[in-house]
Structure 1
Amino acid sequence: MPDSINFFRPKGGYFVWLEFPSDVNASELKAYASKKYKISFQVGNKFSASGSYKNCIRINFTHYEEDILIPAIKNLCKSMHEFLNQ
Structure 2
Amino acid sequence: MISGLLKNYFTFLAQTSVADVVEAKNSLTDKQQECLALLQKLVEKSDDEQPEMLHYVMSQIEHHKHAVFLFDKDAQDEFVRVVGGGVRNG
TM score, norm. by length of structure 2: 0.29
Q: Between Structure 1 and Structure 2, which shows a larger proportion of strand residues?
A: 1
Structure number, greater radius of gyration: 2
Q: Between Structure 1 and Structure 2, which shows a larger proportion of helix residues?
A: 2
